[in-house]
């Protein structure tokens, strides 16, 4: 974390996770006491899922749309920041009356992912002994996370989603819904994600995990009860800096920052470049709203993403996706390049070719280019 920023703001808590006693915001919860079997063996002794909804569920449950967030996102797809919600909705422009997810017609559901830190069971949650799970939290796969989301669907009375929509890590889970539960997935929109994590993507994730685990304040994952400033903030901040570089494009960084120094600072005398200050800012924001243990668990799940595992390979698995589907990539994405989405579009029978979101912002374009993404949402839902 930047020492310049640290002197301007109070010390962050040991974890940025939502904790018991914090304002609930507009979350609701599903608590399931039934053990959740895990793909890798063992089980979780019950799960709690935080989620948010917009609109009203039809009597026959036919108008429900599932929206799945990316790595450091959460259930707060729409709405302002405020008590219980550290950031504004990440697709706020897309949800509401007259918007692409038109809540006059659609019942929109967004859960916080299993293993996350904004109200759903994860490393910062209380484990069986009442203490935070910490390093005892089990390894998860995308299929485990979808199994938990299926319990939420059951509890809400949704037998089949009209559409499942997600980008990046959310797109991985959307693919798992379509491949593993095609009978419960009416249509599909996946943005900026692959059929399986590549060696380079696993490498980037592994470096970020190591940055967190090598922080002395990681304490083997047992840091949740440390005082303010006591968590692995440096390691989580480094992980965020690495990730953020992969999320944006080189031309955008060059155009915004070039090699310029931060105002009032001289890199030759220990000061920062503009791009360093930018990365420091994003690192500082994340450590105040996210949990390092969740970052590790979710990144490990992304590293293990492979829709073809145990299903005869990716092409055989994707051949099950016969519902209406739109696959889109961001033209400047260097983390999950459009070539990976082209492979998805070619293998999914229900898709009609690859769509391209034009953006200078790299991978983050799927979050930023809401006009183009909204048009894809409207197209998909217009088919139903």
Reported as a single tens digit per residue, the pLDDT across 95-119 is 999 999 999 999 999 999 999 999 9
Instruction: Quote the pLDDT of residue 126.
Output: 96
Q: How far is CA 27 from CA 75, 124, 230, 260, 363, in A?
A: 8, 18, 28, 43, 28
Let me know: does 113 contact 143? Beta carbons within 8 Å: no
Percent of the chain with pLDDT over 70: 98
Q: pLDDT digit string (tens) for 275-298?
A: 999 999 999 999 999 999 999 999
pLDDT of residue 4 exceeding 60, the answer is no
Instruction: Quote the pLDDT of residue 240.
Output: 98
Q: pLDDT digit string (tens) for 54-97?
A: 999 999 999 999 999 999 999 999 999 999 999 999 999 999 99
Verify whether residue 129 is a known catalytic residue: no
Instruction: Quote the pLDDT of residue 8.
Output: 65
Band (pLDDT 50/70/90 cuts) for residue 38 is very high
Let me know: does 250 contact 335? Beta carbons within 8 Å: no
Verify whether residue 92 is a known catalytic residue: no
C-alpha closest to that of 370 among 17, 87, 134, 93: 93
Q: Of these residues, 75, 168, 277, 294, which one is catalytic? A: 168
User: Mean pLDDT of all residues in the chain?
Assistant: 96
pLDDT of residue 7 exceeding 90, the answer is no
Left, alpha or beta for 134 (phi > 0: left; psi -120 to 50: alpha)? left
| More confident position, 3 or 155 | 155
Q: Of these residues, 224, 233, 244, 363, which one is catalytic? A: 363
Verify whether residue 333 is a known catalytic residue: yes
Q: Of these residues, 234, 333, 359, 364, which one is catalytic? A: 333
Angle formed at CA 266 by CA 260 and CA 270, multiple of 5 degrees = 120
Instruction: Quote the pLDDT of residue 9.
Output: 75
Instruction: Quote the pLDDT of residue 298.
Output: 98
């Amino acid at each position: 974390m930047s020492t310049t920023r640290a002197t301007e703001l109070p010390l962050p808590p040991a974890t940025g996770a939502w904790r018991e006693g914090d304002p609930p915001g507009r979350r609701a919860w599903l608590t399931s006491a039934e053990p959740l079997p895990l793909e890798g063996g063992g089980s979780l002794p019950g799960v709690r899922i935080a989620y948010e909804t917009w609109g009203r569920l039809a009597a026959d449950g036919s108008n429900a749309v599932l929206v799945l967030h990316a790595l450091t996102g959460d259930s707060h797809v729409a709405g302002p920041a405020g008590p219980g919600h550290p950031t504004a909705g990440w697709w706020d422009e897309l949800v509401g009356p007259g918007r692409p997810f038109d809540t006059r017609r659609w019942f929109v559901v967004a859960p916080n992912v299993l293993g996350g830190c904004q109200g759903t069971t994860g490393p910062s949650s209380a484990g069986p002994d009442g203490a935070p799970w910490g390093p005892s939290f089990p390894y998860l796969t995308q299929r485990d996370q979808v199994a938990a989301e299926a319990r939420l669907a059951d509890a809400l009375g949704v037998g089949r989603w009209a559409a499942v929509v997600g980008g990046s890590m959310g797109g991985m889970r959307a693919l798992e819904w379509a491949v593993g539960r095609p009978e419960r997935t009416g249509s599909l929109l996946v943005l900026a994600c692959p059929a399986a994590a590549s060696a380079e993507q696993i490498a980037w994730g592994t470096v970020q995990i190591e940055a967190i685990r090598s922080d002395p304040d990681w304490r083997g994952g047992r840091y949740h009860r440390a005082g303010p400033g006591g968590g692995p903030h440096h390691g989580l901040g480094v992980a965020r800096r690495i990730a953020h570089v992969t999320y944006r494009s080189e031309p955008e960084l060059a155009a915004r920052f070039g090699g310029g120094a931060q105002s009032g600072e001289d890199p030759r005398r220990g000061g920062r470049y503009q791009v360093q200050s930018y990365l420091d800012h994003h690192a500082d924001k994340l450590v105040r709203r996210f949990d390092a243990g969740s970052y590790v668990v979710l990144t490990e799940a992304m590293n293990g993403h492979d829709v073809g595992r145990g299903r005869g390979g990716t092409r055989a698995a994707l051949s099950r996706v016969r519902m209406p589907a739109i696959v889109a990539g961001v033209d400047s994405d260097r983390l999950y390049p459009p070539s990976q989405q082209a492979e998805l579009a070619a293998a999914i029978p229900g898709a009609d070719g690859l769509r391209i979101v034009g953006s200078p912002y790299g991978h983050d374009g799927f979050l930023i280019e809401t006009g183009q993404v909204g048009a894809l949402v409207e197209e998909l839902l217009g088919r139903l």
